[in-house]
Amino acid sequence: MKHLKALSIFINILFLLVLVTETAQAARVKDLANIRGVRNNQLIGFGLVIGLAGTGDSAVNVFYSIQTVVNMLKAMGITVPSGQVNQLQFKNVATVMVTADLPAFIRQGDRLDVLVSSVGDAKSLQGGTLLMTPLKGADGDTYVVAQGPLSIGGFSIQGQNRGVQKNHLQVGRISNGGLVEKELYTAFNKKDEIELSMKATDFTTAARVAKEINRELKDDLAAAMDGRTVRIKVPEFYKNNATG
C-alpha cells in the first residue's frame, strides 16, 4: 500500500509539472487572434466546362445547359434558330458553379486557385476546360475572371462487366485559374486603432495578450474590451505605418 501511495503522489506531481511546462510555453499572438477586418471574401460564378468526352450534361434532364450554350454563342455573334434549340445535343459540355476565396490585400493581376463543381448531371469533368467565367462577391461586383483546364485528381475506367473510379469526378480545381480584375480597397496603414479578434472567447487570454502587447510597446496602448476583443491604439511612431 505504501508503494501504491508513493506512486500516486509521484504521478500527481508529474502531472502538475507537465501543466506548468505547457503553460510556460510562449504562444504567438497570430496563433491566438485575427486582425479584425483582415479576412478572405467568398466569390461565386456560373460557367461552362467544354471538351468533355461525352460525359457532360444531358439536354433532356438539364435544359439550362442548352440555354447557357445558346446564350454564349449569341454573345459571340452566332445565332441558333429558335426551332433548332431543342434539337441541340452537347454531351461534351457541363454547367458548373465556380467558387474562390479572395484574400485580403490581393492586387489586380494576381492569380488564385478556383474550385469548379458540376451543377447538372455530368458524369465527369475529366479533361474539361472552363470557359471565361466572372466571379462575383456578395455585393454583385466582379472581382475575378476564371478560365483554364481542370484537374480533378481522379479517374474513371469502365470495362465490359465492371469499372474502377478514384475520387470525385464532378469537382475539379484550376491552379492559378482565377485572374484578379478588381481590388478590395483598404486603408489599413491609416488606422488609429487595431482590433484583435480572439479565436476563442477567454477573458484571461485576452487580458494577457493586452498585457504582453503593452509590455512590448512599453506603453498602455492595448486593452481587452471583452473575452473576444483586444483594442490597440496605434503609437505615434507607427502612424501611417501600422504594418510596421
Helix residue spans in the chain (DSSP H): 2-24, 29-32, 63-75, 203-217
Distant-in-sequence, close-in-space partners of 167: CB < 8 Å, separation ≥ 6: 152, 153, 154, 155
Helix (H) or strand (E) holding 99: strand 94-102
- Residue 116 burial class via C-beta count within 10 angstroms: exposed 0-12, middle 13-18, buried 19 and up: buried
If you average pLDDT over each of 1-5, 37-41, 53-57, 126-130, which comes out highest? 126-130
Cβ atoms of 98 and 47 within 8 Å: the answer is yes
Please determine, for residue 111, whether its predicted confidence score (pLDDT) is greater than 50: yes
Q: Going by C-beta distance under 8 Å and a sequence separation of 6 or more, which residues neighbour residue 83?
A: none
Q: Cell numbers for 59, please give them.
A: 439536354
pLDDT of 72 reads 84
Q: CA–CA separation, 40 vs 170, rounded Å? A: 25
Contact between 125 and 169 under an 8 Å Cβ cutoff? The reply is: yes
DSSP 36: T
The answer to whether residue 114 scores a pLDDT higher than 60 is yes
- What does the block give as the cell for 154? 481522379
pTM to 2 decimals? 0.74
* Average model confidence (pLDDT) across the chain: 81
Rounded Cα–Cα distance for residues 199 and 228 (Å) = 7
The pLDDT of residue 157 is above 60: no
Q: Which is it for the CA torsion 37, 180, 42, 30, positive or negative? A: negative
pLDDT of 4 reads 46
183: number of Cβ within 10 Å: 14
